[in-house]
Homo-oligomer: A and B are copies of this chain.
Amino acid sequence: MKTSQDYRDRLNEMKSNVFINGEKVNRSDSRLQGAIKTISLSFDLVNDPKMKDLLTATSHISGERINRFTHIHQSVEDLMKKQEMTREICRKSFGCIFRCMGIDAMNALSIITHRAEAMTGKPYNERWLKYLKFWQENDIVATCAQTDVKGDRSLRPHQQADPDLYLRVIEHRDDGIVVRGAKNHITAAAIAEEIIVTPTRFLTDKEDQYAVSFAIPGDWDNVYLVTRAENMKQREHLSCPAGEKGDVENFIIFDDAFIPNERVFLGGNEGEHQFGGWLALLFALYHRHSYTGCKPASTDIILGLSALVAEYNGVENKKHVQSKLADLISVAELVNAAGIASAYKGTRDESGTMIPDAVFCNVGRKHAGKNYYHELETLADLAGGLPATLPFEKDFFDEKIGPFLKKYIKRKEGIPAEDIYRLFRTLSDTLCSSIGGVMAVAGVHGGGSPVMEDIAILKQYDIGERKKIAKYLSGISED
């Protein structure tokens, strides 16, 4: 298995195709380092006693011990461990590990390339298996570029004024395809070694050209990574994991990029539109399964911050505080339960890959998404106004002003002023920072917006069976 140093070395060797606020930069740019540090955790914790068993797995193709972020799930237990690994590591990374997208895309591709090869005869699965070998041997960090820019939301891909508003194949060559379009909201692309591209939605038979999936190195020719990158506001005296958090979001442009055949897993050929739709849904499903791990971790963090600030304020044992803590626990554990149930009720695909149950994954993700802003509200409620009005760090350590602040920030007896300041600084970073806001929006939309989960739930659920119950109870005969 590789180390985080290997990962960073490889990033540093990549060509410059990252754009940040008008500059073309290398991957050593300081604005990328917060997020790179986060991803490094997924390598560094591999030998941590608590994480070892979760963070590694045995490859079903090589039999080697591999990082679980490169593993194709073979069993219920694999799904359970992926969820638990995600929760554990996201607690340490202050909310997101940035590495689930790659593995979620690979699991979806394991199934769809298998199905597409069986149905079309094209060697999609054969290519993908080679790619998987490379992936597992090199412990690859990847992102998945799924979301198209979508133009007018009331029109389908082929109805758009500009057909490029969904990424598509514009040329089929003997040795590969040429693609044009853009993907947005792509987290961590500028710090990923590989980018896996998938369609974004169900497609009709007029939309075969949009049924395209492939993988490219992050610095591929004619691919531009427009990057919104930021770190938490810098700290001088008070460095800590929360303060080192960064975020990287990408708008990726495919400027008629050529993709060689061996990296094409779905080629946008005639008759392939349905594989595109299945792949879109299946990636989303695996990704929502990831959320049953990371969202409980977010709630763990919010709960921990809430309980700690209540303790410092001297009100932890008040009944109304306790009731709010119980509500937070309920959110975390219902989402967690949904993940567990989705694994327990998972099914094995013909390809051998385990698929978590779709209804449970979606009700879990939906519940997490519905509650994220409310969790922030609870945290704000318990924290009081100080996250919004906390004096800056240099004042706290200022020779003249500092002693006053240390005197007046005191709360419950025995809690040092600096600890109080540290806590409120993290609260401020959570509630009143640009990255905190990004996490909230991602809490709603990441892995699929609320309405997408409703659609997925309604598609899978047997409402007809419940109507039969209603008819049976009412004495209405079945037709």
Contacts and interface: CB of A to CB of B under 8 A. Distances in A.
A326 B457 contact: yes
Interface of A: 19-23, 91-92, 94, 147, 149, 151-155, 161-162, 164-165, 181-182, 184-187, 224, 226-228, 233, 238-243, 249-251, 253, 255, 300-301, 303-305, 307-308, 311, 313-315, 318-320, 322-323, 325-326, 329-330, 333-334, 336-338, 340-342, 344-345, 359-360, 363-364, 366-367, 372-374, 376-377, 380-381, 383-395, 397-398, 400-401, 404-405, 407-413, 419, 422-423, 425-426, 431-434, 436-438, 440-442, 444-446, 449-451, 453-454, 457-458, 461, 463, 465-476
A151 B411 contact: yes
A437 B436 contact: yes
Given A409-B149, A441-B431, A457-B329, A363 B388 contact: no
A377 to B, nearest CB: 4
7 contacts: A162-B410, A249-B389, A250-B389, A320-B451, A333-B359, A340-B341, A381-B444
Contacts of A412: 152
Contacts of A186: 389
Contact of A228 (B243, B255, B389): B389
A170 B208 CA distance: 56
Which label, helix, strand, loop or mixed, suits the secondary structure of the A interface?
Answer: helix
B463 A325 contact: yes
A469 to B, nearest CB: 5
Contact of A476 (B342, B423, B476): B423
Contacts of A242: 473-475
A304 B401 contact: no
A422 B300 contact: no
A224 B441 contact: no
Contact of A457 (B253, B330, B373): B330
A423 B386 contact: no
Nearest to A181: B408
A52 to B, nearest CB: 19
A438 B333 contact: no
Given A249-B388, A389-B228, A475-B238, A410 B151 contact: yes
Nearest to A437: B432
Given A323-B320, A392-B228, A469 B300 contact: yes
B405 A251 contact: yes
Contacts of A249: 388-389
A467 B307 contact: yes
Contact of A22 (B21, B228, B385, B394): B394
A17 to B, nearest CB: 11
A91 B450 contact: no
Contacts of A238: 475
B329 A336 contact: no
A454 B326 contact: yes
Given A226-B401, A307-B466, A319 B322 contact: no
A389 B251 contact: yes
B476 A419 contact: yes
Contact of A469 (B23, B182, B301, B389): B301
A80 to B, nearest CB: 8
Contact of A334 (B228, B303, B337, B344): B337
B422 A431 contact: no
A465 B315 CA distance: 19
